[in-house]
Amino acid sequence: MPRFFQPSLTPRTVDVLSFLLKLRTRAQRLFRLSEAHTMLVWSVVVGIAGAFATIAFRNCIQLLQLAMTGQSGSFVELARSLPWTTRIWVPAAGGLVAGIFLLIARRHADTSTHTDYMEAVAIGDGVVPVRLSLWRSVSSLFTIASGGSIGREGPMVQLAALAASLVGRWVHFDPPRLRLLVACGAAAGITSAYSAPIAGAFFVTEIVLGSIAMESFGPVLVAAVVANITMREFAGYKPPYEMPEFPTVTGAEVLLFVALGALCGAAAPQFLRLLDASKAAFRKLPVALPLRLALGGLVVGIISVGEPEVWGNGYSVVNSILHSPWTWSALLLVLVCKLAATAATAGSGAVGGVFTPTLFVGAAVGSLFGQAMHALWPHATSAAYAYAMVGMGAFLAGATQAPLMAILMIFEMTLSYQVVLPLMLSCVVAYFIARAIGKTSMYEITLRRNREEQERSRLRATQMRELIRPAQTVVPPNATVHDMTRVFLEYPVKYLYVANDSGAFLGVVALKDITSDLLEGRDTSMKTAADYLQPHFDVLTPDMSLAVALQHFLAFQGERLPVIESTAHPKLAGVVYKTSLLDAYFRMNPSP
């Protein structure tokens, strides 16, 4: 039974809630609001709430950053201004505190609820746990504010989704509408983090919901747009990335962007495997969780002594790659160091996102590829920043397995039609290359959905030969009533299968026929299975599909049917049980 938020209410509060519910009902009648219209109205509310949750988290990062170091602003500039000893201990101390808060969060974990907003939407009832989400967000706050190499978008989206869940539970939405409202909150969070409302809406529908239907896409898009408008009302707000004007790409250079897509598609799964390997290595350490996070922060601090660019999520470094010339050696060094820092932070168990670090890696890989191509064909290639922009989208498409979202995100950031053609080619190629190399994705929901789709595809091609089980109730034609009675007593079946010495299926013996003779006292001493044989009995064949076999079972009241090799060679191959067939059928056609 779905669990809903039910706080203790005073009589006066009950009266107020009753009045609000009556007011909502009367408003619906007055303005004749349908359920779809009501969802659009609440998506506006959720869009505003998601933007405020994001702004609150950003302000908390700045305040905590100021409290820890006495400064606030760009993490890279902050790291450069600090003494090398401070660069080491700040991320380590932040990781230690973050681990303590993460331990507190685990005390509030409930196995009956889904921790992540993606699970709450995709496989849950839309209920996002309040205390667990807040404590995890506080933990993430310390990791981010102390320079941890991880994205801030994860806790931002979680908080926006939590706000949406609270709103939906306050107005007593049923689970389907609550899930949709939480999806709207997640879209508002993504939009607030990246200033890309269309991409935010497609992120939720493509990755979280798994399908793009207007009934869900409409409210999600409204929430994303409202969140973006709300964010623009705050003083000092600006998009995280300042994209330069994309050059016109013509001729054979388009093929270079196809090659870039293939490179990103091959590299993205390796990046995700690096993160998984780091997580596995940290889990094996015989230390408490806070010490693991402190160790991850210590690694970041040590790396930052030589490369302060590893602090933070990489916004400022990506903007520098897009607007300033980098030597290939400096870019390669910062890429390797950033990969190590991100693996250490995420692998230690820190709460945060890897969406932004993925964009960083894509920009660095794209810029390096662009520099290499420009060295080979200096008069026929665009500047390296163009390849960095496309590399961001291609690497994101390969890591998330959501190419449409990646295309729209880079397009919204650039607002340039010139980027569309090379971007689409690179993202689609990266997606298919990443899928071919390994079924990896940044998000577990995507992996789960891919596994389910593969299982359904396999089941569509399933034949009865894959479901055959041994037929243990087979008797020869000369089997006596005593022999058959013993088999009936040993196995709770209605029919025995009769096969000759060569294994050919001859028919069945029904339990009711034997019990009828025994109950009426007829002489059965001389009767055999041949006397009770029913030669015309429904059978299956090994090459029969699930759908055809299901029709046979619908016309048959028993639990199992015999399988013969073919009508021309009716050798008994075994039996298929109805439960096995129905299980395969329902896994192929899951209920929505």
> Which tops the pLDDT comparison, 106 or 335?
335
Any idea which residue has 């932040």 for tokens? Answer: 94
Tokens of 519: 């109950």
Q: Is the pLDDT of residue 440 over 50?
A: yes
Q: Is residue 241 part of a domain?
A: no
pLDDT band at 120, cuts 50/70/90? low
| Of the ranges 18-22, 173-177, 230-234, the best mean pLDDT one | 230-234
Instruction: Tell me if residue 284 falls in helix, strand or coil.
Output: coil
Domain count of the fold of the chain: 3
The pLDDT-based confidence of 11 (bands split at 50, 70, 90) is: low
Same domain, residue pair 441 and 545 = no
Q: Given a cut of 60, is residue 348 above it in pLDDT?
A: yes
Are residues 335 and 475 part of one domain?
no
**Residue 239 lies inside a defined structural domain of this protein:** no
pLDDT of residue 116: 65
Confidence of residue 8 (pLDDT cuts 50, 70, 90): very low
Residue 57 forms part of a structural domain: yes
Average pLDDT over every residue of 468-489: 88
Percentage of the chain lying above the pLDDT 70 cut: 84
Is beta strand 474-475 parallel, antiparallel or unpaired with respect to 495-499?
Answer: parallel
Q: Which pLDDT belongs to residue 566?
A: 87
Model pLDDT, residue 68? 82
**Sheet architecture: strand order including 474-475:** 474-475, 495-499, 505-510
Q: Is residue 333 part of a domain?
A: yes
Q: What is the pLDDT, as a whole number, of residue 9?
A: 44
Structure tokens at 245: 């004007």
What pLDDT score does 489 carry? 85
User: Do 472 and 431 fall within a single domain?
Assistant: no
Give backbone dihedrals phi and psi of 209, rounded to 5 degrees, phi first.
-75, -30
Domain of residue 510, CATH code: 3.10.580.10
Q: What is the pLDDT of residue 169?
A: 85
Rg (CA), the chain: 31
Give the whole-angstrom CA distance, residue 339 versus residue 470.
Answer: 54
Domain boundary among the residues 427, 459, 491 is at 459
Contact 91, 308 (CB under 8 A): no
Q: Which residues contact 68 (CB under 8 A, 6 or more apart)?
A: 90, 93, 94, 145, 146
Pair (173, 261) in one structural domain: no
Q: What's the rounded Cα separation, in Å, for the pair 125 and 172?
A: 12
Residue range 286-295, pLDDT digits in tens: 999 999 999 9
Is the pLDDT at 227 greater than 60? The verdict is yes
Distance between CA atoms of residues 355 and 519, nearest Å: 74
Domain boundary among 175, 198, 232: 232
Average pLDDT, the chain: 82
**471 lies in the same domain as 419:** no
Confidence at residue 556, expressed as pLDDT on a 0 to 100 scale: 79
Strand, helix or coil for residue 168? helix
Q: Which domain holds residue 522?
A: 464-588
The top-scoring range by mean pLDDT among 24-38, 170-184, 326-340, 460-474 is 326-340
At residue 469, the pLDDT reads 87
Determine the pLDDT at residue 367: 94
